[in-house]
Amino acid sequence: MRIHIFATIAVLSLFTTSLFAADTPAPANPPASGKKVLVFSMTVGYHHASIPTAHKVLTELGEKSGAFTTVVSDDLSNFNPDKINQFDAIIFANTTSTHEKDLPFTDEQKKAFSDFVKNGKAFIGIHSATDTFYLWPEYGDMIGAHFDDHPWTADQTVGYKVEKRNAITDMWPDHFSLTEETYQMGPPYDRSKLTVFISVDVDKTNMNNPRIKRTDKDFAVSWIKPYGKGRVFYTSLGHNETVWNDPRYQAHLLAGIEWAMGKGDLNPAPSTSQPAPSK
């Protein structure tokens, strides 16, 4: 009799354990990959109102995907040689300088940052990251271009086209439009040194603005490039909060960040010498 009672208790115990296990919700977020990303938004020039939204979106992208954890900080000591290598990627989210005054990095911090990427880590530039470090030529070479005005301001609707299909662009249709401040790029911009993914669709955008300087109709918006052993991803989208909150833009960012941290082909082919024609 005692044996049967113990057996019954054991079965009930197993059933209760299974029942509670079934009712226990799965973790809200997948486990983090162990990759650590510094999100840096120091400004010397224009300060974007969307920066707090950028910090929130980038932190949530890492948490929800499990692809990385973020450290949001403008502490320059993170660029010291003894601290920078704790990170797998550095994101410049709407940083700015002026043509007269750069971000206050020491020469040692600049070298540590450059070496960080050259030795195989990731750099991601968002929107005004190209409006940064005008007085440090190596930075321009690393990111691929410098800002040279925005013919299309934050309240204007601009047409864009996808030039290459991949994980970083698959969330966008071939042709799409956004109300968004949009840049034209200046030196050291050279399309042959980049893999351009998205550009302005000049056939679906107002081209009568006197602030337009480029005569070649080459208005690159997003690209990737190698830098030494490292990878660089850049997108000029990201001025308006509405863009930051667009799920397509968030997917674009996440795929670009993951590529920069090592996912996918290491040595993409350069773009053609001219932008893809509109359809």
Based on the structure, what is the number of domains in the chain?
1
Determine, yes or no, domain membership for 111: yes
Determine, yes or no, domain membership for 174: no
Determine, yes or no, domain membership for 19: no
Please give the residue range of the domain that contains residue 87.
34-146+184-198+218-260
For residue 169, give the nearest of 106, 237, 113 by alpha carbon. Answer: 237
| pLDDT of 275 | 53
3-state class of 77 per DSSP?
Answer: helix
Cα(107)–Cα(112) distance, integer angstroms: 9
Structure tokens at 48: 């974007």
Give the CATH number, domain containing residue 111: 3.40.50.880
Q: Is the dihedral of CA 18, 19, 22, 28 positive or negative?
A: negative
For residue 276, give the nearest of 160, 176, 145, 126 by alpha carbon. Answer: 160
Structure tokens at 10: 């054991």
Determine, yes or no, domain membership for 268: no
- Point out which residues pair with 70 in neighbouring strands: 37
| pLDDT of 268 | 57
pLDDT tens, residue order, the chain (279 aa): 444 433 433 433 433 333 333 333 444 566 667 899 999 999 999 999 999 999 999 999 999 999 999 999 999 999 999 999 999 999 999 999 999 999 999 999 999 999 999 999 999 999 999 999 999 999 999 999 999 999 999 999 999 999 999 999 999 999 999 999 999 999 999 999 999 999 999 999 999 989 999 999 999 999 999 999 999 999 999 999 999 999 999 999 999 999 999 997 755 555 654 555 554
Determine, yes or no, domain membership for 203: no
Determine, yes or no, domain membership for 175: no
Determine, yes or no, domain membership for 92: yes
Determine, yes or no, domain membership for 270: no
What DSSP assignment string belongs to 140-208?
HHHHS-EE---SB-TTSEEEEEE-S-STTTTTS-SEEEEE--B--EETT--GGGSEEEEEE-GGGS---
186-205 burial: b if 16+ Cβ within 10 Å, else e: eeebebeebbbbbbbbbebb
| pLDDT of 4 | 43
